[in-house]
Structure 1
Amino acid sequence: MNNREENIDEELPFKGREFLDENYNLHRTTEELSRGGQGIVYKTEDDQLLLKLALLPDNLSADAQEKVLQAKRRRYHNVSLLPVPYGLHLAVPLASLQDEAGYVMEFLQDMEPLQALLDIRMTDDLRELPAWIAQTKNKYQRSKWAHYQRTGGLRRRLEILARTAEILGRLHAKGLVYGDLSPDNIYVSKQLGKNLSKDAGGREQRQNVWLIDADNLCFAMPGQHAEGFFTPGYGAPELVRGESGATFCTDSFSFAVAAFQTLTLQMPFAGRMLAEADDDWDVGEGVLSTEERAWRGELPWLDEPEDRSNADISEGQVLRPLLLAPGLQRLFQQAFGKVGRECPESRPALSVWARELARAADDVVHCEKCGTEYYGGNGLETTCPYCGHQQQAAYLFTAMARQIDGSYGGEPWRFRLPRQGGVLPYRLLQPCGTDEAEADGLSLRVEERHAFLSKEAAREVDVAYAGKVTNGRFHTLRARLDMGKLESGEKFYLWASGKVQRLVIGEKGAV
């Protein structure tokens, strides 16, 4: 975290101390969880509670320190009064501390910061890795993609980011901004493949996400003289330049940086100009370094189509198109391109990010041969771009929304099911928030080679089915429907009517 005006002493000892909150509950700090320019977050002996302890400016008189202390206490108290949506995964202040500037907040066990997915550790351990990673000659690149694979791969990252965008989008709907987003204050489930719920297709869910350290939460504050906090590298250009306070647009930019880094293990402005810069140590007073210019939005981003002066020159650049679905590539261009840097209002809203990330996650295919994940595209048969293995899904569902002219089209939403069937998510049938999106919509089960379709959730959506057993006519789906023995290549249709109308085309594969 960084404040434009404060110079903070970061060495105040809080570990192992006891603190009394306003409700006379005693808390003892244990290990440090995270640290920033405004304070330190500690775990406590109660594994469901954290303490945020403020760091006060150094070299102040006792009276000045007391004024700062009281100001921070008022800020923490005011945050607790903000209209945060009920049930939102945001660790807001539960109680203020009595004798220190700090507060108590909720915390879930077995979680780690998103930063853990980004910290690359050099390794020679090649066990259980795809051949294309194990055979990579460059040790850093080999370690980088080994870390990517071992921390959940592509789909886990997309699910985490979709959930994060949903949390921020719900805050924005209340007029609130988070204010200082970075991978250090996004917390995700630590476990991989253990005690995790299944998603709509029977896959393990890894998207449990919480935002902590919410003391910068506030109503949107546009304007040059508004206060703004940011983490270096994640702050929006107008925030870094001191031209604005925290707004929906600054949150959107910070999220876009964190999302790009999470999906590609690269920073969006760390291209040729930064790699070849030699001014990080000898810049004169009042002269900006190349890195500082990047933070201020003065450099093109890695994939700027009209200016390749700061293009990516790393060996890993060839993999980036495989990690970013076309819809996500468009959003990153809107966020980081010249227009996005200079016109904050043109950046994608968090609700748009949530939708496109969920759409991308549903299109991910797990290679049966090498274990790498990739985007499946528009066919039943897919080819792994990493090892060349071809495989076919048992069922492919493609949803399209009704357009203004009455036709069905637009950006398709794809979802695949295995041979034994599974559950189709509600998000395939209707646009919705993440909580609803992860709910069950329809189930398709295979028993003695017959496919059975049934409606899982009592929601405000009507579903009709058309296929071989209905002679191609749409029949309202009321209970369990026997679809018969579906042949390879056979198509059937679902029509969903609720907030919007969607046509879902189902196709049976040869599996």
Structure 2
Amino acid sequence: MENENQEEIGVSVTESDGHTFVLKQVRDSYDFTHIIRKELGRGGQGMVCLTEDKNFVVKFALDSKGNIIGKEKDADSFKRNDAAFKAIALKPFPDRLHLARPVARLADYSGYVMRLMGDMTSFSELVPIDNEDIKRMASDGGHRRRFLLLSKLAGLLAKLHGAGMVYCDISANNVFVTKSAESETQNVWLIDADNVFIPGEDLDKLVFTPRYAAPELIGKPPKPCSHASDCYSFAVLAFESLAALHPFKGNKAEGEDSGDDWDASVQGNDGTKSSFSEPDAFPEYSGKIPWVEDTEDDSNHTENGLPRQNFLTDETFRLFNATFSEEGRKSPKMRPTAVLWARAFSHSYAKSVRCPDCGMSFVFDEAQNCCPWCEKKLPPLLTLSLHDEVVFAHEASFKKDCEGEWISLPEFLFEPFSVDTCFRPLIKLRTVEKSGRALEFVSSLESGGEHLFFISTEKGEEKIGARYTLFLQGGTYELRYENRQTGIQRTFSLSVKESFE
């Protein structure tokens, strides 16, 4: 008797002649067989499926009706797509870019096999759409984790844009992230490399998901995808994942039926995906109404979604407003770049605090004395300030004979921002309480010998070596950073505040 708990394999698919069946395995161009486990995500262009090997996923191209494209039954479409998949390998992608590219084409269906880091999931899992999703934020990493992932996604886009490429179809289904919120390493990957094009070469390229599309892509006549349209789509995804609300789904748009088809990709100018609903029927996607936090026009304002003050900083609000304001909607060149988004969300991540009572996280504000989610008293906090402004905050825990978790201080706190190395830890510290309350520092081996740290105590300035313990006497300490190669120096005020009245 088969094990009733055995995981089912295969996905239900329909061919162009209407024949529906469960597809359990496929062959690739190297005659290797891939066992299909389940569907991971689907859009207008294709369907991505998990295989028995967690390091590989399979993308099936779909026709305009959502059917798979067979080599025999749809010969012309199969040949056209197969040639396009071959061409992906010729594109000059940057090295070490987290973009899942074809490693083999499918033999019998239009599609390809992609390598993806194991144990990843679609970013759509982190876009809250109902109260149950919002409740899960306390256990899925909350806003702190989203800040980190969004910064890394923006950095990934910045690398792609720096190579002169456009992704085209930024959406929650096309972004994959580390599945576990507890994993020390949080990775971000883009899938669907066939979305990528080079401006000036693929002049007719127009692929987008209407829910995330920039206004110019759904205008009349539509304009091709661009770096600016990528950044607009990123901003929609970012706001929606943080606010549990589409940035244009306010009072003015309320009551309009946006329809499920607006989550599916649309591909135009090639004859295969050229029809979709009129944008004017969906005002929140048309670019013709103000966004929910517009500073010039509050007609679309709403209190729905999560409280903006819990996750927006002045920096991120400026970027959202520059993107979604009337000027940003009508003038793509006025929108913030991917690098600016990456830097802004790295700053939000650095100042995010997790409440030990409710599990939610928020951006620390010096005027706060309680968690904005549950109103419980703030936990002890470790803070770093530069020029009298808090640039880093993290909850700290002192328990007798126990050591706290290691807290990494990333490179962007000390060096000019770089999307390649911004999250590299230069030094780590943790709270300890044995013969007294203390902070234990460990220099990161990744940082190399050119990064030096010094701490000022009653004995004067002391160099922090491979391991250093600072016994806390209360008050504030000076933490000085020096780059021996470039001469960069920064002096921070370090403090551990235990009481908030």
TM-score for the superposition, normalised by structure 1: 0.78
Structure 2: 5+ residue stretches without partners: 1-14, 260-275
Equivalent residue letter for 1:244: K
2:292 equivalent in structure 1: 302
213-222 or 452-461, which moves further after superposition? 452-461
1:98 equivalent in structure 2: 107
1:415 equivalent in structure 2: 393
Q: Please say if residues 381 and 393 of structure 2, whose CA atoms lie closer than 8 Å, have aligned partners that are also in contact.
A: no
Pair 1:233 & 2:219 matched: no
* CA spacing shift, 1:479–1:294, aligned 2, 3 Å: closer
2:262 equivalent in structure 1: none
2:57 equivalent in structure 1: 50
Q: Which runs of 4+ in 1 moved over 6 A?
A: 8-12
Q: Distance in 2 between matches of 1:505 and 1:31?
A: 51
Q: Distance in 2 between matches of 1:436 and 1:25?
A: 37
Deviations 1:277-297 (A, max 9, x none): 4899xxxxx995644444231
Pair 1:334 & 2:322 matched: yes
| 1:453 CA displacement | 4.2
Pair 1:208 & 2:187 matched: yes
Pair 1:81 & 2:90 matched: yes
Deviations 1:52-81 (A, max 9, x none): 222235799x99954433332222112122
Equivalent residue letter for 1:385: P
Structure 1: 5+ residue stretches without partners: 1-7, 122-141, 198-204, 281-285, 401-407
Q: Please say if residues 49 and 105 of structure 1, whose CA atoms lie closer than 8 Å, have aligned partners that are also in contact.
A: yes
| 1:92 CA displacement | 0.8
Number of residues of Structure 1 aligned to a counterpart in Structure 2: 452
Equivalent residue letter for 2:444: E
Q: Please say if residues 256 and 282 of structure 2, whose CA atoms lie closer than 8 Å, have aligned partners that are also in contact.
A: no
Q: Distance in 1 between matches of 2:487 and 2:222?
A: 40
* CA spacing shift, 1:466–1:235, aligned 2, 3 Å: same
After the TM superposition, which residues 246-325 of structure 1 pair with which residues of structure 2 at under 5 Å, given as runs? 246-277=225-256, 288=278, 290-314=280-304, 316=305, 319-325=307-313
1:137 equivalent in structure 2: none
Deviations 1:284-329 (A, max 9, x none): xx99564444423111111111111211253x46x12222222211
User: What secondary structure does 2:211 align onto?
Assistant: coil
Pair 1:190 & 2:179 matched: yes
Identity of aligned residues (%): 29
* CA spacing shift, 1:84–1:278, aligned 2, 3 Å: closer
2:270 equivalent in structure 1: none
TM-score for the superposition, normalised by structure 2: 0.79
Equivalent residue letter for 2:147: L
Q: Please say if residues 9 and 57 of structure 1, whose CA atoms lie closer than 8 Å, have aligned partners that are also in contact.
A: no
The one of 482, 486, 495 equivalent to 1:496 is: 482
Q: Distance in 1 between matches of 2:226 and 2:493?
A: 40
| 1:340 CA displacement | 1.0
Q: Please say if residues 138 and 358 of structure 2, whose CA atoms lie closer than 8 Å, have aligned partners that are also in contact.
A: no
Pair 1:361 & 2:382 matched: no
Q: Distance in 2 between matches of 1:10 and 1:390?
A: 63
The one of 19, 23, 26 equivalent to 1:16 is: 23
Deviations 1:21-55 (A, max 9, x none): 33232334342222222222223333322222222
Equivalent residue letter for 2:158: G
Pair 1:375 & 2:363 matched: yes
| 1:84 CA displacement | 2.3
Q: Distance in 1 between matches of 2:381 and 2:211?
A: 44
The one of 48, 52, 59 equivalent to 1:41 is: 48
| 1:173 CA displacement | 1.7
* CA spacing shift, 1:56–1:287, aligned 2, 3 Å: closer
Q: Distance in 1 between matches of 2:296 and 2:338?
A: 26
Equivalent residue letter for 1:163: K
1:5 equivalent in structure 2: none
